[in-house]
Structures are given as C-alpha cells and as structure tokens.
Amino acid sequence: MKRLRVMVVDDSATVRKLLGDAVQAEADLELCASAQNGQVALDRLEAARPDVVTLDLEMPVMDGLSTLRELKRRRPGLPVLVVSSHTERGALVTLDALAAGASDFVAKRSASGVDEARRFMSEDVIPRVRSLAARAAGVALRPRAPTAPAPVARASGRAAATPELLVIGVSTGGPNALEALLGALPRAFPVPIVIVQHMPTLFTRLLAERLDARGPLRVREAVDGARLEPGHAWIAQGGRHLLVAYSEGSTVLQLDDGPPESSCRPAVDPLFRSAARACGAGVLGLVLTGMGSDGLEGSRTIVKQGGAVLAQDEATSVVWGMPGAVVGAGLAEAVLPLPELAAALVARVQGRGPAHAERRTPGRGGP
C-alpha cells in the first residue's frame, strides 16, 4: 500500500511532535519532513516530495501566507492544509490563505492537556490530511461513484417544480467555490439562497462579509427569524444548525442547537430536510465540494418531496466526497463543473432546466 507523504510546518515544537506522531500512527501515512518555519519547509520541499503539507500561518522568518504562495508557485497541485488559530485575525488570514490556494483549514482547539491535543490531531487534522493527500496522489479512499448519475426516482412521480428556494451544502474547498458561484449569479437572482458551509463560529461571519463585498448578491450570516428574500444569500452560523420554516405566510430561518450530524454543526442534512418540509417540490439543492457525505440524506428528502438536486463534478471539486455520495446514490439531476453551475441554476429557477413543472405554493411541503 502506498503511504501518503506528509510535511508538517509549524513553529511550535510541541505541535510538530504531536502532529508528526499522529501521522506516523496511521498505516497509510508517513511523515516525510517537518519544519519550524516556511524557509526551512521550502528548502526541504524537493527532497521530501510531500503529497500534502500542513501549514501554520503565524511563524517567524517566513510567515504562512508567504510560504503558501511560494509552495503553490513551485508545486501548483500540492494540497496545503492550513492550521489556523481560532481568533478574528486567524480567521481573516485563513480566508486569505484559502483565496491564495490553500485546500482546506482546521481551527486549533483550546486543549487542556496532551490527551485532548492528540484527539484534535486524530479527529480533526488527520482525516483532512488523508483526504487531501489521497486526492493529489490519485489514491481511492472509497469506491468511485458512477461517472453519470442514475435516473432519479421521485416518490411523487412528477417532475421537479420551478424552484422557489436554493439550498447549498459545501465543505472542503467551499469558500473559493462559493465566491466563484455567487459571483457569477445575477444581482436579481429570483429566489433566496441558504448555505451551510462547514466552518466554526467567527469564520462564518467573516466569510459572509467577504462574499458580500466581492459579489453582486447580498450575503449575510444567518440570524434567527430572518425572512427569506430573492437576491439574498444567508450562511449558517458556525456552531449552530440552520433550518428553513414556513410561518404565517413567509419562509424564515431558524437557528438550532441540536446535536451535530455527520460530526458537523452546522450540517447540511438538517437544512436540506427542513427546506423540503417547508417548500416541498419548490426546493433546489446544490451539493458542492466537500469531505464526507453530509447532504446525502437531506438530498434524498428533497428528491422524495419532488424537488431536485445538482452536484459539482469531481474534476473541479477539491474533495469529491459530499457531491460524490449524492451522485453515487442516483440523486443528482445533473453533475456539472463549477464554472457551469451558475448558468444551470439561473436556467432552473427560470423554468428552463431539464426537469420543469408548474410552480407550487411555498409552505406546503408535507411532512
């Protein structure tokens, strides 16, 4: 079995030791190099030949952003996992790193001891390292989904209605994918958009502000009771599920503190399920790049209620876990590269998509 090669770059000797030990404990991973700053990492890059790099952003000699840009210049396809501090400055620099080409990030937990720090490495960092390295090295972590979607069987037996609500689920690679997608939609996009991006608290507010400043749509972090309006997008708050409900003639947002699903909160499945209950066949779901299978069961509910789901294709996804699971289950109406998704969404909400029926009244989605 090919062992995936990991380089750890962090100015903390403790972090290098903990993460290096976590890597070495995995049968399919090996620590090919560690470095205490960016310059050392660059000096060791050619000899180490890593499949993935974990990168601290706050280091002496050469900071993480400068290191990242040089890594991407030398090895454009090399995945980089940013290990970020959970502060406002850390979140802002992390978003800059993602825009500069980092593949994903993980925010450091406050660890009260070595055992908790080890759990953070094994539960939060290692799965991301494995997924990113495997994709870059061409190693399959799961059976590949069909290259073309299977026919979608709708429980209602009818085609999907013209959408009245777009719900989006995304994880690894999401900030860049969302910026590209939302930036390509028209300012007058005729239906509301509700998004779950796997991110911790604080990061989601800063992401919403960045997307709002860089695209035509108004983008906000979700607040409880917000009334959904066309041309607006809402992003779930980190640490809380986001639901859609139909109340007194309006479709509104609800924040929920229920238990994590798929080890995530916010999670995509609760949003998709609630949207299907609130709007039935009027829901259009979109599953973008991401690790794991969050969104699969929610997509199943959307389709059963008569709605439709689109998925990002494998070639343009950073990790084809979430969309691949939906495609493999035969739930995707279409599987498209990221640059084609905006046009496809516009066509669907204008009733020009592949599955079009009469527009339905919101709020009657059934159980």
> DSSP 3-state assignment of 196?
strand
- Give residue 157's pLDDT band: very low, low, confident or very high (50, 70, 90): very low
- Asked whether the predicted pLDDT for residue 140 surpasses 70, the reply is no
Class of domain 165-349: alpha beta
168-191: per-residue pLDDT in tens? Answer: 999 999 999 999 999 999 999 999
Of 96-110, 126-140, 282-296, the range with the lowest mean pLDDT is 126-140
Cis bond before residue 339 (omega within 30° of 0) = no
Q: Which of 84, 294, 299, 317 is catalytic?
A: 294
Greater pLDDT, 362 or 75: 75
Domains 4-137 and 165-349 share a fold: yes
Tell me which of 171, 293, 299, 317 is the catalytic residue. Answer: 171
What DSSP designation does 236 have?
Answer: P
Confidence of residue 72 (pLDDT cuts 50, 70, 90): very high
pLDDT at 364: 46
Q: Is 171 a catalytic residue?
A: yes
Locate the domains of the chain by residue range: 4-137, 165-349
**pLDDT tens per residue, range 48-70:** 999 999 999 999 999 999 999 99
pLDDT tens column, 256-279:
999 999 999 999 999 999 999 999
pTM, two decimals, is 0.90
Q: Which of 51, 104, 198, 262 is catalytic?
A: 198
The answer to whether 198 is a known catalytic residue is yes
d(CA 129, CA 34): 15
Chain mean pLDDT for the chain: 90
Strand partners, 197: 170
| Level-2 CATH architecture, domain 4-137 | 3-Layer(aba) Sandwich (3.40)
- CA-to-CA separations, 56 to 48, 112, 212, in angstroms, rounded: 18, 20, 27
Share of the chain above pLDDT 70, in %: 89
How sure is the predictor about 77, in pLDDT bands with cuts at 50, 70 and 90? very high
Q: Which of 106-110, 256-260, 332-336 has the lowest mean pLDDT?
A: 106-110
34-72: burial string, b at 16+ Cβ within 10 Å, e else: bbbbbbbbbebbeebebbbbbbbbbbeebbbbebbebbe
